[in-house]
Structure 1
Amino acid sequence: MSFDRSLRRFGFVSGLITLTLLASCQVRPLYSEASGTGERLASVGFEQPHSRIDQVVRNHLIFLTSGGAGESAHPAYDVKLTTKSTASSIIDDEDDDNVSPTGIPLPGRVQVEGTYTITRINDGQILKSAKREVVSLIDVPGQGFAKLRAVRDAENRAARELAEFIRAEIAIVLSREPQPQTVWQK
């Protein structure tokens, strides 16, 4: 009988510990209505672009943060963004055209690097500053225009992916912002 009683106690205690651990878990949806992250994302403003890649990333960020409604008229947060793009061949050849003698396109890569800073406008506090990079692979063809177009298409793909990463990081930062206090008046 004592073994059966100790087994029940062990089961009860282990169940209690498991419930305590599960109750202390702080996992919650990033875009939940209770956290107000969606509203905060819609109140983000973006600096004017300085290059074509800046423009692609900025446009995609505006679409992602506002849900297609456009940029906020009165932003509460400001994002400063600078990007740069580099294209290179994966295979190091001496010839500059990056095309094999048989005319088969050679593999290449386009790297888009973005540096951004999220600032709260009302007090000027920097909430996060980070640098992210995305690589997009391409086949570099022998024709000049096709090569330029392949690089531009890869830049666009990488810029959109970079915008997705930045939007996720903005959402994480804004979800940690304190909720505005509601003042009830009679």
Structure 2
Amino acid sequence: MSSPETGARRGVLALSLLAALALAGCTSTGIRPLYGGAAGGETVAALREVQVASPGRIGQQIRNELVFAFSGGAGEPIRPRWRLDVTTNAVDTAVGLDRYTNIASAHLGQVSADWVLTEIATGRTLANGSSFANAAYDYSQQRFADVRAKRDAENRAAGAIALDIRTKIAVWFAEHPTP
């Protein structure tokens, strides 16, 4: 006699084997790491040669995040080959009201960014796109706390946008190898 556990174990074993075979097939389908592996080094090297420009406080935050992400903390490139221009727009929306004072108590900061990657030598546009992020924050009766909460929300949104832009630029470089 067999117990119900034996049947369940066989099912789990069969599923595990099937999953392993499916993952093994991924290597022959062209799926590869974005930043590592054989071709990933070219992507990392290309990212290190991107100069980033972005006006405004939120734009500067995005720029700082991207410079750090592209260079691994080494700073701006000495002789950049590409330029990434990022323009930002921020909108602040009240999403909650205090029922006693009828003053906004919760806000949603919405930040969007449009970006263009160009080759410095030729001025040719290589890629462009847009990214956005939302960050909520609470409003209080203290003025400094309100300013700080809004700035922290903008910084969180800027970090999310920088991560999204970095990924899109890295994918572009992975798909378009550079000499």
Query: Taking every aligned residue pair, what percent have the same amino acid on both sides?
Result: 35
> Over aligned residue pairs, what C-alpha RMSD do you find?
2.2
1:26 aligns with 2:30: yes
Residues 99, 140 of structure 1: 8 Å contact kept: no
Task: For residues 45-67 of structure 1, give each alpha carbon's deviation from its aligned partner in whole angstroms, at most 9, with x where no partner exists.
Answer: 112x3211111000010000000
1:72 aligns with 2:77: yes
Residues 107, 138 of structure 2: 8 Å contact kept: yes
CA spacing shift, 1:81–1:22, aligned 2, 3 Å: closer
Query: Normalising by the residue count of structure 2, what TM-score does the alignment of the two structures yield?
Result: 0.77
Task: For residues 74-96 of structure 1, give each alpha carbon's deviation from its aligned partner in whole angstroms, at most 9, with x where no partner exists.
Answer: 111110111121111113xxxxx
Which residue of 2 is the match for residue 37 of structure 1?
43
Task: For residues 109-138 of structure 1, give each alpha carbon's deviation from its aligned partner in whole angstroms, at most 9, with x where no partner exists.
Answer: 101111100112233221211111100011
Instruction: Name which of structure 1's ranges 58-67 and 25-34 shifts more when overlaid on structure 2.
Output: 25-34
Residues 103, 142 of structure 1: 8 Å contact kept: no
Residues 99, 142 of structure 1: 8 Å contact kept: no
Which residue of 1 is the match for residue 64 of structure 2?
59
Which residue of 2 is the match for residue 46 of structure 1?
52
Residues 44, 78 of structure 1: 8 Å contact kept: yes
Which residue of 2 is the match for residue 94 of structure 1?
none
CA separation in 1, counterparts of 2:84 and 2:152?
A: 25
SS at match of 1:136: strand
Gaps of 5+ in 2: 1-21
Q: CA deviation at 1:24?
A: 4.4
Which residue of 2 is the match for residue 89 of structure 1?
94
Query: Normalising by the residue count of structure 1, what TM-score does the alignment of the two structures yield?
Result: 0.75
SS at match of 1:74: coil
Q: CA deviation at 1:32?
A: 2.3
SS at match of 1:158: helix
Which residue of 2 is the match for residue 124 of structure 1?
123
Alignment-mate amino acid for residue 42 of structure 1:
R
Higher helix fraction (1 or 2): 2
Larger Rg: 1
Q: CA deviation at 1:178?
A: 2.5
Gaps of 5+ in 1: 1-17, 92-97, 181-186
Residues 105, 138 of structure 2: 8 Å contact kept: yes
Residues 118, 125 of structure 2: 8 Å contact kept: yes
CA spacing shift, 1:107–1:71, aligned 2, 3 Å: same
Size of the aligned set, in residue pairs, is 154
SS at match of 1:34: helix
CA separation in 2, counterparts of 1:22 and 1:131?
A: 30
